[in-house]
């Protein structure tokens, strides 16, 4: 395949806090079930089969770029793929979401977790990245789960409401909990560094369940491992790093000081509040977010007003990337998503 000649680098520039000709936009979960084109590729396979087929992962990663004209592509995979590579059985059941039938709840199970070699154990992810780079004219985002979020899945055995097993272990067996997070963090640094070697140009850490922790517990049990992963990556790569803490408003005093290039903001946090926190930190960074994914169900005019209000607020940030404040849900109308892209791209800013 011929590489396309003109590269759209607005997303990379905004990550580094530089001014761009337009505000770049991409969407968390932009490849997925809301697109009929995705459903068509996905339907003959299970989700995990799809994740292990680089040719098909490339196809579904390209779909939102071609259909919506977003300014970045994200690797098609899942945050739980490396947990399977650590030796855990993983199933995705229709309706129930991810399931680990043998959750990690004691030292024996923690000791059995292996640190995978990304090239050996997850070659399909790296092959997808290599193929995508040949096909793309926008930057490619690689990703992983943040250590705490990944730990909740393998300790609970899947999704959870109260995080009972996770928090019981945190409080009653903190050394075991930290040992599990140490292993996940080690795996994550190796996995993300391998993604960069394969061609990923930006990395995002998804901390979906960070907001399930009271701030002191976040500081004690989750934050040190986010720091460790960011520091490990800084030693090995110079690509921009994005940290997204879902439901993270109360965590801003800590997250705004992290050594990330971009802070992803969830939809519950007022964007101005996040930008103020980030701008007051010693190392101001770019900000990404944060339209409520359900705002995509608003009538056109109100949707446009919401998007424009975020764009106005974003002008106060060192760099601003438009995104949702969490993933697109499957019932979303792709035409509404396309409308958002068009509004963002035609935004000229407010005069000072």
Q: Which sequence positions are flagged as catalytic? A: 29, 33, 42, 78, 153
Residues 5-44 vs ligand CP3: string with x where CB under 6 A? -----------------------xxxxxx--------x--
As a whole number of angstroms, the distance between CA 332 and CA 297 comes to 7
Radius of gyration (C-alpha) of the chain in whole angstroms: 19
x/- letters, 256..295, toward ligand CP3 (CB under 6 A):
----------------------------------------
Residue whose tokens read 């990404």? 288
Q: From its phi and psi, is residue 269 left (phi > 0), alpha (psi between -120 and 50) or beta?
A: beta
- 97 touches ligand CP3 by CB under 6 A: yes
Checking DSSP bridges between strand 97-99 and strand 140-145, what pairing results, if any? unpaired
Is 337 a binder of ligand CP3 (CB under 6 A)?
no
143 binds ligand CP3 (CB under 6 A): yes
Asked if 48 interacts with ligand CP3 (CB under 6 A), we say no
SS3 of 242-276: EEEECCCHHHHHHHCCCCCCEEECCCCCCHHHHHH
Residues 168-207 that bind ligand CP3 (CB under 6 A): 206
Considering beta carbons, is residue 131 or 347 the nearer one to ligand CP3? 131
Q: With respect to ligand CP3, which residue has the nearer C-beta, 290 or 318?
A: 290
* Cβ 284 to ligand CP3 shortest distance, Å: 26
**Which member of 11, 34, 76, 148 binds ligand CP3 (CB under 6 A)?**
76
220 vs 329, which CB is nearer to ligand CP3?
Answer: 329
Report d(CA 266, CA 246) in Å as an integer.
5
Q: Which of 8, 9, 63, 208: binder of ligand CP3 (CB under 6 A)? A: 208
According to the binding rule CB under 6 A, does residue 327 interact with ligand CP3? Answer: yes
DSSP assignment of 152-181 equals HHHHHTB--SS-HHHHHHHHH-HHHHHHHH
CB of 111 to ligand CP3, least distance (A): 25
Residues with Cβ within 8 Å of 218's Cβ and at least 6 positions away in sequence, in order, are 148, 210, 251, 254
Q: Tell how strand 202-207 and strand 320-324 pair up.
A: unpaired
Residue nearer to ligand CP3 on the CB measure, 215 or 327:
327
Quick one: which segment of 74-82, 118-126, 132-140, 266-274 binds ligand CP3 (CB under 6 A)?
A: 74-82
CA distance readout (Å), 271 to 2, 22, 183, 237, 267: 40, 19, 34, 29, 8
Instruction: State which residue, 143 or 191, has the beta carbon closest to ligand CP3.
Output: 143
Told to check if 150 binds ligand CP3 by CB under 6 A, we report no
List the alpha helices (DSSP H) in the chain.
10-15, 36-42, 47-51, 54-68, 81-85, 107-112, 118-121, 123-135, 147-156, 164-172, 174-198, 215-217, 223-236, 252-255, 271-280, 300-314, 334-346
Q: Does 98 bind ligand CP3 (CB under 6 A)?
A: yes
Question: Of 40, 102, 112, 159, which lies in the binding site for ligand CP3, with binding defined by CB under 6 A?
Answer: 159
Considering the complex, state which of residue 143 and residue 218 has its C-beta at the smaller distance from ligand CP3: 143
Which residues inside 216-255 make contact with ligand CP3, applying CB under 6 A?
Answer: 246
How many other CB atoms are found less than 10 A from the CB of residue 218?
22
Residue 86, preceding peptide bond in cis (omega within 30° of 0): no
Interface residues with ligand CP3 (CB under 6 A) are: 28-33, 42, 47, 74, 76, 78-80, 92, 97-98, 143, 159, 206, 208, 246, 327
């Amino acid at each position: 395949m011929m590489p396309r000649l003109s590269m759209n680098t607005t997303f990379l520039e905004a990550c580094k806090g530089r001014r761009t000709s337009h505000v770049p936009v991409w969407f968390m979960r932009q490849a997925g079930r809301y697109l009929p084109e995705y459903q068509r590729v996905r339907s003959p396979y299970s989700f995990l089969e799809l994740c292990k087929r680089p040719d098909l992962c490339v196809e579904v990663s390209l779909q939102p770029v071609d259909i919506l004209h977003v300014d970045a592509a994200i690797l098609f995979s899942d945050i739980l793929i490396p947990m399977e590579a650590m030796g855990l059985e993983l199933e995705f059941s229709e309706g129930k979401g991810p399931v680990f039938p043998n959750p990690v709840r004691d030292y024996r199970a923690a000791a059995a977790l292996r640190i995978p070699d990304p090239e050996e154990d997850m070659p399909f992810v790296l092959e997808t990245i290599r193929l995508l780079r040949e096909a793309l004219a926008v930057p490619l985002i690689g990703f992983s789960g943040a250590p705490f979020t990944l730990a909740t899945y393998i300790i609970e055995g899947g999704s959870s409401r109260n995080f009972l097993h996770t928090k019981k272990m945190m409080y009653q067996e903190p050394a075991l909990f930290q040992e599990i997070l140490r292993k996940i963090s080690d795996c994550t640094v190796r996995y993300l560094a391998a993604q960069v070697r394969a061609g990923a140009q930006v990395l995002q850490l998804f901390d979906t369940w960070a907001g399930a922790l009271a701030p002191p517990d976040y500081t004690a049990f989750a934050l040190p491992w986010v720091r460790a992963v960011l520091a490990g990556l800084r030693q090995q790569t110079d690509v921009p790093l994005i940290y997204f803490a879902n439901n993270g408003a109360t965590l801003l005093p800590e997250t705004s000081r992290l050594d990330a290039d971009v802070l992803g903001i969830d939809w519950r946090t007022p964007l101005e509040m996040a930008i103020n926190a980030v701008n007051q930190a010693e190392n101001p960074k770019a900000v990404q977010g944060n339209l409520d994914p359900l705002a995509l169900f608003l009538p056109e005019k109100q949707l446009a007003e919401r998007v424009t209000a975020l764009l106005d607020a974003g002008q106060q940030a060192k760099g601003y990337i438009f995104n949702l404040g969490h993933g697109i849900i499957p019932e979303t109308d792709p035409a509404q998503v396309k409308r958002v892209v068009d509004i963002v791209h035609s935004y000229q800013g407010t005069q000072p």
